[in-house]
Amino acid sequence: MAVLEIRDLHVSVETDEGTTPILNGVTLTISSGETHAIMGPNGSGKSTLAATIAGHPKYTVTSGSITLDGEDVLEMAVDERARAGLFLAMQYPVEIPGVTVTNFLRTAKTAIDGEAPAIRTWTKDVKEGMKNLRMDEKFASRNVNEGFSGGEKKRHEILQLELLKPQIAILDETDSGLDVDALKVVSEGVNRAKESSELGVLLITHYTRILRYIKPEFVHVMVAGKVVEEGGPELADRLEAEGYEAYLPEGAPIE
Ligand code: ADP
Ligand code: MG
Ligand code: MG
């Protein structure tokens, strides 16, 4: 049982123009076995929240806290966060030249578990994971994210999720750029991970489409760096019908 607790989080980003506050007091608790969706218009700070949990150096926490089972996440280095059980799928994953998918997965698994996985079961798990996600076997020998299509990047993330078995996963716009078939395959992977290990999921999305496949119990609406409304799945249905306009100042530009 794991609990990720975000309390009154204020985050700023450093730019050429100076320090800009982006998150203005976000409070959120995600426990094992729960699925939370964070929804909101573009630019509301969703990715900033994900990057802050992951420990991206560009973002400065000016006040508030993030804890995992009471341990201070903000004091942890990025690799310690992963070892503690946090998993983050980025909206824009980076290329890792010269590192194949196979080696990357094995290195990550070894770092997180503190020991190398047993070769035979590991090879079998990787093969099975790739098959479930309808990935070509050749994919394993390609360099991480180099020339990956949008769909390949997302399926590679879910493959990591299934193999690394984190406690809490933060998935940032896992649905973006996926066609319906890929969206289904990716969602099935998340649901398998939820079933097999009581995974807690924080699903960040602009659109309600993915929520037809991955069912959240809790929906949080983020606008201008704050959670402005919370509810159950019915809130996502309402957003699907009405959009975010009601939350925005009159005449605000809509991306
Ligand atoms: P979302 O994921 O909800 O679309 P983001 O967290 O990406 O929102 O962005 C929130 C706001 O913070 C936007 O106005 C964005 O331009 C700004 N922002 C985020 N990251 C940076 C950055 N690295 N440099 C400058 N501005 C940033
Ligand atoms: Mg965005
Ligand atoms: Mg984003």
DSSP state of 85: T
Alpha-helix runs per DSSP H in 74-179: 78-84, 101-113, 119-132, 150-164
Q: What is the pLDDT of residue 98?
A: 83
CB neighbours (10 Å) of residue 56?
15
Pocket test for ligand 1, best of 38, 47, 223 (most atoms within 8 A of CB): 47
pLDDT attached to residue 73: 97
- 201 vs 217: CA distance, rounded Å: 10
Ligand 1, CB cutoff 6 Å, lining residues: 13, 15, 22, 40, 42-48, 58
Other residues' Cβ atoms within 10 Å of the Cβ of residue 112: 18
Q: How buried is 17 (Cβ within 10 angstroms: 0-12 exposed, 13-18 middle, 19+ buried)?
A: exposed
The DSSP string of 154-191 is HHHHHHHHHHH--SEEEEESTTTT--HHHHHHHHHHHH
Ligand 1, atom 6, residue with closest C-alpha: 45
Atom of ligand 1 nearest to the CA of 225: 10
Report how far residue 117's alpha carbon sits from residue 71's, in angstroms, rounded to the nearest whole number.
27
Take atom 22 of ligand 1 and give the residue whose Cα is closest: 13
| Among 140, 42, 9, 150, CA closest to 90 | 150
Distance CA 131, CA 221 (A): 35
Which three-class secondary structure state does DSSP give residue 209?
helix
CATH superfamily of 3-247: P-loop containing nucleotide triphosphate hydrolases (3.40.50.300)
Per-residue pLDDT of the chain (255 residues; tens, 9 = 90+): 899 999 999 999 988 888 999 999 999 999 999 999 999 999 999 999 999 999 999 999 999 999 999 999 999 998 899 999 999 877 566 777 788 999 999 999 998 899 999 989 999 999 999 999 999 889 999 998 888 888 888 999 999 999 999 999 999 988 888 999 999 999 999 999 999 989 999 999 988 899 999 999 999 999 999 999 999 999 999 998 999 988 887 766 665
- Residue 240 tokens, joined: 């699907």
Nearest in space to 69 (alpha carbons), one of 165, 161, 171, 1: 1
What is the greatest pairwise CA distance in the chain? 60
The residue among 209, 202, 250 whose CA lies nearest residue 227 is 202
If one residue of 15, 19, 22, 205 were mutated to test the ligand 1 pocket, choosing by the most ligand atoms within 8 A of its CB, it would be: 22
**Distances in whole angstroms, Cα of residue 126 to Cα of each of 41, 156, 189:** 36, 11, 13
Cβ pair 119, 200 in contact under 8 A: no
Is residue 40 a contact partner of residue 107, using CB atoms and an 8 Å limit? no
Which is nearest to 92 in space by CA: 135, 148, 43, 41?
Answer: 148
Separation of alpha carbons 190 and 186, rounded Å? 7
